[in-house]
Each structure stands twice: as C-alpha cells, then as structure tokens.
Structure 1
Amino acid sequence: MKSLFKIIIITVIFTSINSCKYYNFTGAKPIDADTFQVNYFQNNADLIEPGIERIFTLELQDIIQNQTSLNLVPQGGDLLYEGEIVDYRITPMTATADQRAAQNRLSITVLVRFSNKNKEEDDFEKRFSHFHDYPANEQMIGARLTAGLDEIYARITQDIFTESVAKW
C-alpha cells in the first residue's frame, strides 16, 4: 500500500513538472526564442495625441517581459514587434433629447507586424483596436486620458501577446 502511494505521488510530480514544458502560468506556450525586440510604434493617426506612441511601446514591452522569460534586446531579437498607431479617434456614441452627445468613445487602432526568426509561419501583420467610453461633458485630458489609455492599451497589448506568443 505504501509503495502504491509513492508511485502515485511520483507520477503526479513528474506529470506536473513535465506539463510546464508545454504551458506556463500565463498561458503562453514555450516558443523557440530567447529574446524579443519592440521597435518604436510611430503615431500615424490623423488625430495626434502627443506621447501615446511612447506609452504604447513601453506597455507592449512590459507585458511581454512580465508574462514570459524572454529578454528584451534593442536589436536582433528572435521575436520582432513593429508597427504604428493608425487610428486615434473620438466619436459621439449616444445623444440626449436636445441632440447633444451624452457619451463619447475614444478608439485606438494599432497595426502590428510580428516576426519570429525561428518559426516564420508564426509571422503576421494585423490590426488591433479597442475603445474607452466616457461622459461627453468631460474632456479627454489628464486623469481621464490616462484612464482611457490604460484601459485601451491593456486590452490591445494582451491581444497582441495572445496572438503572437500565447497562441490561444
């Protein structure tokens, strides 16, 4: 009975350790890469909000660093992320009885080109976008802008991570 218990424990431990080869706690599958590079994402949108391209570039670097064991390098990375912000737009979403906007929507679209030097079939070029709704009587500046960008970038960077590394 004691030896059966030991065999079960050893089997569970071996299976647990071996499964880490295929998945980790972030959901990312192991990839044939050690390094990644995120080039600066230019803001090519018609409506320009200064500084959003720098924030986006840093947020994308952060999510990949925090959810993988890959090392960030300035050039020659096994995984390469590049692209541009192609749309930054504020549009009215709902109207009041007197035909004024009651709610506005900030939308951002990013075009991403992803390359995996070691597995070219993973390469893609794709648009990712998300939005943040806010009351029309508020201006999209200061804390409101920061909150909107945080929400949008969290979603877009997670979508990029999922598409490029997690492969869900």
Structure 2
Amino acid sequence: MTWNKHRVLRPFVLLTALLLSLLPLSGCGVYSFTGTSIDYTQIKTFSIAVFQNNASNGPSFLAQRLTEDMKDYFLRNTTLKLVPRDGDLQFEGQIVAYDFAPAAIQSTNGQDQAGINRLTIQVRVKFTNTKDSKQDFEQTFQSNADFPAATNVSSILNDPVANRRITDRIITDAFNKSVANW
C-alpha cells in the first residue's frame, strides 16, 4: 500500500478553509442562538414597569400577571439582568382593550346566536433602548383566543390560564420586535 499525502492533506485543508470562512462571523457578537440581536457588550440590563390596566372590563390580576410573565420571558431568553428601573432596555405600557365578543354567528331554530366567542386583548408597549434610540418604538400588540359559545363568559374572564394563552403571544411579539428585530 502506498502512502498518498494528498489523500491525508485534503480533509485538513477543507477543514481549515471552513474554519477560516467562519472567523469573520465570530467577531460580530450581536447574534445569539436564542434569536436575539442584543449586543451584550453594550446592553446589560432591562427594566419593565408594571403595565397599567386601562381596559374597563379586564380582570384585576391581568396587569400584574402580564408584567411578571414578560419579565420571566426576558430572563429565560436573554442573559440580561433585570433591574427595577432605568435598564438599558426599558418597557412600559398599558392594557388598552379586553374584549369578549361573538366571533362566529350560527342560526339555530331561526335564532342567530354565537357559535364561538372570542377574547381579544390589546397591549400598548413603549420600548426604549437607551443605547440606540433608533430601536425605540411604541406599538399596540393584539392577540385573541376562541372559546365555545356554551362556555360561561365569567369563567373565561377570570381564568388566568385562558388569559395567559393570549398574553404569551403578545409578550413574544413584543420580545421579537424589541430584541430580535423581526
């Protein structure tokens, strides 16, 4: 068997070329595998003021629950430190709408009635990036969930799990807009 130095060197050359081609990407420091575009050399902290409930018919627990869930989401998905106020990234806002209305009308014995009821929540979020004001925004995020018409409306309005399904999507949207640049 003869030794072929080209057969041995070829994988080494390919591996070296691959590693060298990835080298420019390692210096940017702005992208992470969680999908965020946070520059952790500049941005270290975030703060979230308690969201106000300005929706006249929203449950009393909703503002505090939304605020705490948003803090938890950022803690799980970034390495930023939560501070009480004046973070590098700052969030504040209010729940502006909490509406429960028929979403699908069906006719039963000549009577029109709701086939499905829809709970819609709108949250106005003000985001401030103290390191890059071009990233600042104020936007209303909305999400909803449908419930069978036979379900008692008051049980849905006071059900933290039902409300959380909706607010989780709002939190994800606000997160993506603020730190994932989506």
TM beyond 0.5? yes
Matched residue, 1:77 = 87
- The range that moved more, 65-74 or 25-34, is 25-34
Matched residue, 1:8 = 14
Deviation at 1:23, TM superposition (A): 2.1
Partner SS state of residue 64, structure 1: helix
Contact 1:35–1:78 (CA under 8 A) maintained in structure 2: yes
Tell me which amino acid in the other structure corresponds to 1:25: F
Q: Deviations over 1:59-80 (max 9, x none)?
A: 1111111111111111221000
Partner SS state of residue 32, structure 2: coil
Closer/same/farther in 2, CA of residues 39 and 86 from structure 1, 3 Å limit: same
Matched residue, 2:166 = 152
Deviation at 1:91, TM superposition (A): 0.5
Which of structures 1 and 2 has the bigger CA Rg?
2
Tell me which amino acid in the other structure corresponds to 2:121: I
Closer/same/farther in 2, CA of residues 64 and 96 from structure 1, 3 Å limit: same
User: 2:103 aligned to 79, 86, 93, which one?
Assistant: 93
Tell me which amino acid in the other structure corresponds to 2:49: N
Q: Does 1:102 align with 2:115?
A: yes
**In structure 1, what is the Cα distance between the partners aligned to 2:160 and 2:19?**
45
Deviation at 1:145, TM superposition (A): 2.8
Closer/same/farther in 2, CA of residues 13 and 148 from structure 1, 3 Å limit: farther
Partner SS state of residue 167, structure 2: helix
User: 1:135 aligned to 145, 148, 159, which one?
Assistant: 148
**In structure 1, what is the Cα distance between the partners aligned to 2:166 and 2:27?**
33
Identity of aligned residues (%): 32
Tell me which amino acid in the other structure corresponds to 1:80: Q
Matched residue, 2:132 = 119
Aligned residues between the structures: 168
TM-score (norm 1): 0.89
Contact 1:106–1:148 (CA under 8 A) maintained in structure 2: no
Matched residue, 2:175 = 161
Q: Give the superposed CA RMSD.
A: 2.3
Closer/same/farther in 2, CA of residues 144 and 7 from structure 1, 3 Å limit: farther
Deviation at 1:121, TM superposition (A): 0.9
- The range that moved more, 91-100 or 20-29, is 20-29
Q: Deviations over 1:52-97 (max 9, x none)?
A: 1111101111111111111111122100000110101100111231
Matched residue, 1:26 = 34
**In structure 2, what is the Cα distance between the partners aligned to 1:12 and 1:60?**
40
**In structure 1, what is the Cα distance between the partners aligned to 2:134 and 2:86?**
19
Matched residue, 2:3 = none
